[in-house]
Every structure is written in structure tokens, then in C-alpha cells.
Structure 1
């Protein structure tokens, strides 16, 4: 490890994750504008947004399989190339005859880049800090909500000065070029699994462990609770509050602080205790987001952010600590499973959202006609009221997921406690 520049590699990893999170934050802020500019309905917007989430698992699973073969450095070169392609294609999407497909493929490229960053950087962090994995994964992943905060603030303030969404997307080029340069100059370690001498066949056998399968299923729920809500919050709450994007900023700002302070909390509660606490708090926060108005929405965002802040890195940390033989592919299957679940859920709920809105319009109303620029004032008011009622319904539908996680993580805590007692008795 002496020849490995640990702090520099960690900083470069954080910058790569910053680009990933900026793509989420900026897209969440411009999603509504894309719909207006290109005449896209909620189902089409849901499909475009979901593309990033299934491009991610595609890349993260393939990356998990090949990372020990080609090395983490080459994977990050691929991430750099796909980030550049995705960002540039998004900026010029309006130049194509069908902007839907330009946005679809540009978002796919960014999703592939994001997944490749995750595929390389999660095992890189555990290899750099084998003595402190869950805490350092939380420190690394604080740059995800951190980038979302920056992204939403960029959208908010750039809108105030009337800068286009193309300029907002172009901001992502700056950290992309910096992390690409840094990684090109640094020497990388081997993954923790390779360093510890665990064979490839043993790694694949470990993926059949019932505890790993259980955590994989729980990852579906933790990822949907965090990422679906965050990505769609501006659309869902725009008609409830004039500061819907700032609601996202509040929740993600809390996540940054929470992950920065993860060390003593993880030490006190252990990963499984942190996950149970997170599920309880996230459920309360999501309930408030879907059932309150005015300033109470910001209270709900604060509580929700505190709930979901530890989900992703602590799920990875638990697997790395309790199931280390699953190696890089174990970590990356977890990330891939989470993003795949979000993509499916997002496409499903985009259609449900359109249906809920249509049900609240006058009988026989055409949703696209009501959302068209030439719609009458009466039609626009009716659509605004339909949106106002439908958004919280989507949030309340999602509420069942963290509620189920509470039960699952109570079971996990009981299992680990009993397992520890058995080890002590032996």
C-alpha cells in the first residue's frame, strides 16, 4: 500500500461519484423543462429518467465480473468516455429530429458511466481502507447526495438568471475532465478479494449464500425508497409547493451531513442496527412528504433525508464486512440490483402517475391536450389541480416499501445477534 497514493485515489473516486450525482441532481431539476420543451408526457419522462437506472445495473454487473481481470483503472477510463458522450449528447439533444431518442440514449450513456464508476470505486474504497470499510464507504458516498445538492442548486440559481438547461448540463464536464486526468496518473491496488487470496470459484459460490440473497432483495427496497423519491420529487411536489426542488436540496443536504458523521453511528449501532434505524426514520419522513403541506414538507424532507442517508453505503458495507468472499462482484451485484429495481419502479410509476392525473380530469379529457401550450386557462387549472392530488398519492404508494424494510431489518438484527451468540459460545 506504500506505493499506492491512498488519499489521491480516494479524492479522484469522490470526484467521479460527484459527476454521477450531478447527473441525478441536474436531471431531477430539468426533467419538467424537458417535458415542456419537447412535448413529453410523464410516461415518456419516466422512461428517459429510468434509462439511467437500467444503464447503471448493466454496467455495474458487467464491471463486477471483469474488474479483477482488466483492473479498476481501465474500468474508470470507460466511465470517463461514457460520461463525456452522455453529457455532450444531452446538450445537443434538441438538434436531433426526435429529441426523445437523443435524451434516451444520452441518459443511457450516463447511466452506463455511473454504473462503471460504482463498479470500480466501491471495491477500490474497500481495498484502500480494509480496516474501516463501512465508514469509508459512507464517506465516499456522501458525494452522491453532495452532488445532488450542488446539481439542484445549480438548476435553481441558473434558472433565476435565465441560463439554459444545456448550460446546466455542461457544468458536469468540469469534474469529469478532472477525475479522468487524476485517474490516468495514479497507480491502483488489486481488489480486496484478490489481495486476501479468495479464489474466483469461491467468490461465485459465496453469491448463493442465503444472507447475500436476502440483502440483495432488501437492496431493491432501499434503492427505490431513496432514489425514486429523490429523482421525481420536483415533479411530484411541484404543484404542492413553489420550492419543490429545494425540498430535494434539504433532504440530500441532510444526507451529506449524516454520511460525514457515519463513523461513530456505525460503531455504536453496527451496520444492521443502522439499517433498521434508517428504515424507521425514512418511513416517517416519506409519510410527511405525502401527507403535509407548507413548511411541514421541509420537515418531512429533513426526516426523510436522515432516514435514507445510510441506506446505500451501509448495505454495501454490510456485505463487505459480513460476506467478504463475495468480493467486488458481490458489491456490484448489490448496486446493480438497486438501480435495476429503481428503473422498473420508475417506468411503472410514470404510467401510474399519468393514469392518476387523467382520472382527476373531466371525463373524456385528453392528458396531452390539457398539457399543451395552447390549452385554455381552465384546462391548465384543471391539470394543475390533478397534478396536485396525484403527486402525494405516488409518494403514499411508495410508503409501503420502507415499512416492509422495517420488518426485514428487525429480522436481520435478530439473526446477526443470534449468530454472534453462537460464535461466542463456541
Structure 2
């Protein structure tokens, strides 16, 4: 293909953007508590949406990667990263319930984008470098802690030292987001190994088994009961 290294570093930048955004969001919970008057339980629910969205992104992205291809999923993740900022910035201190919903779903969308990128980046790098996967996957995975460090330091300086409003802090993750979008733009993507081998979705799910499928359904039911239906009834 000839663009293996560019795709590697594009994936690196994508996961770095996820780490920066995750760290900054974690650091502004106290700002949200002060500005919107949220309880600890409400802040916990918002934070929990981040972990739930990440899991959904990995699961759904992993299933669709072989059908849609890596390129389309990158577009989805990029769009969701931008959308999550728009949704989060829509939170207004004049409406407590509305602010809660905006922040919770903004967190979920952001995390879903992160999970989608993980579902793309790992198999993409493994496919690009079949002879040296461990080395290049280690490079890719270094981007997450690096992003966390960068986001944490930026949050400490801008929030604790300079008192910058949380919306300006959070907007910083859009910088690496735009960069990875540009790096991926117009690049040809390889087919996944499952697509090359002609494996169907059913073939790939055989390893999950009935018990694994039941566990997934149970967890999905809990999520929709507590987070989706519960949010319409109030925090």
C-alpha cells in the first residue's frame, strides 16, 4: 500500500485525542458540580456513561469493521468526536435537568467514538504490520497514556492555575481530533483479516457462545433500563 506508517501515526493521533479528552473531562467534574449543582451520584452517572459508551463503541465497531471497512468507521468516530463537543457545550446552568442530559449524552457519545477508534486502530495496525505486530501495537498503545498525561497537565495548568472555563479546556481535544481526521483523509485502507478469509458474522460469533451472548444481552438490558429510560424520568 505504501501508506502504512501514515495510517499507524493517524491511529496514534486518534487514540491520543481520546486520551486528552478523557483526562480533561475527568478533571472538570468539580467545575460541573459547582456550576450545575450536581450530586455525587449524578456526576458518577455522567462518568459511568463514559465507560459504557466505550464498551458499546468497541463491541459495535468490532462487529461492523469487517462489513463497513475501517475507513467508514473512522469517519463515524470523527463525526461523533465533534458531535460530543457540540452536545456537551449545549449544557446550560439555567436548566439543571437539561444540563445533566447534555453532559451525560455528550460523555456517552465521546466515549463511543473512543471505542470505535479502538475497534479500528488495533486490527488496522495488526493488518498493516503482520510480521511485527507486537512492536507496532506497542507504539499505538503508547498514545493513550500519553494523551492522558497531556490532558491532565493541560487541565491542571488551565483549571487550577489559570481558572480557564471548562468549555475552553475541553475544546482542546478537538485539536488532535482535527489532526487525525486530516491524516486519515483520502488514505486507502486494507481489508480486515476476517474479510480476506471470507468469514461471516456468524462464524466470528461462534467463539462467544450462548453463555457469552446471554451475558451481553443482560448487560445491555441493565444499561438501557438505568441510563436510557432513567434519564427521561429524571436523574
Q: Output the CA distance in 2 between the equivalents of 1:73 and 1:100.
A: 33
Alignment partner, residue 137 of structure 1: 137
Q: Output the CA distance in 1 between the equivalents of 2:208 and 2:129.
A: 23
1:23 to partner: Cα distance:
1.8
Q: Judging changes above 3 Å, is the alpha-carbon distance between structure 1 residues 72 and 29 closer, same or farther for their aligned structure 2 residues?
A: same
Consecutive unaligned residues of structure 2, counting only runs of 5 or more, are 227-235
Q: Judging changes above 3 Å, is the alpha-carbon distance between structure 1 residues 175 and 96 closer, same or farther for their aligned structure 2 residues?
A: farther
Alignment partner, residue 204 of structure 2: 203
Q: Output the CA distance in 2 between the equivalents of 1:181 and 1:96.
A: 37
Q: Judging changes above 3 Å, is the alpha-carbon distance between structure 1 residues 206 and 23 closer, same or farther for their aligned structure 2 residues?
A: same
- Indicate if the aligned counterparts of 1:126 and 1:192 stay in contact, CA closer than 8 A: no
Q: 2:69 pairs with 71, 80, 97, which one? A: 71
Q: Output the CA distance in 2 between the equivalents of 1:145 and 1:104.
A: 24
1:188 to partner: Cα distance:
0.5
1:7-406 → structure 2 map (5 Å cutoff)? 7-94=5-92, 97=95, 98-159=98-159, 160-195=161-196, 197=197, 199-200=199-200, 201-208=202-209
- Indicate if the aligned counterparts of 1:19 and 1:147 stay in contact, CA closer than 8 A: yes
Q: Output the CA distance in 1 between the equivalents of 2:167 and 2:84.
A: 13
TM-score w.r.t. structure 2 length? Answer: 0.83
1:116 to partner: Cα distance:
1.2
Cα deviation 1:198-243 (Å, max 9, x = unaligned)? 5224322233499xx7xxx9xxxxxxxxxxxxxxxxxxxxxxxxxx
State which structure, 1 or 2, has the greater radius of gyration over its C-alpha atoms. 1
Q: Judging changes above 3 Å, is the alpha-carbon distance between structure 1 residues 168 and 71 closer, same or farther for their aligned structure 2 residues?
A: same
Q: Output the CA distance in 2 between the equivalents of 1:67 and 1:182.
A: 19
1:96 to partner: Cα distance:
6.4
Consecutive unaligned residues of structure 1, counting only runs of 5 or more, are 218-332, 334-339, 348-426
TM-score w.r.t. structure 1 length? Answer: 0.47
Alignment partner, residue 355 of structure 1: none
Aligned length: 215
- Indicate if the aligned counterparts of 2:77 and 2:114 stay in contact, CA closer than 8 A: yes
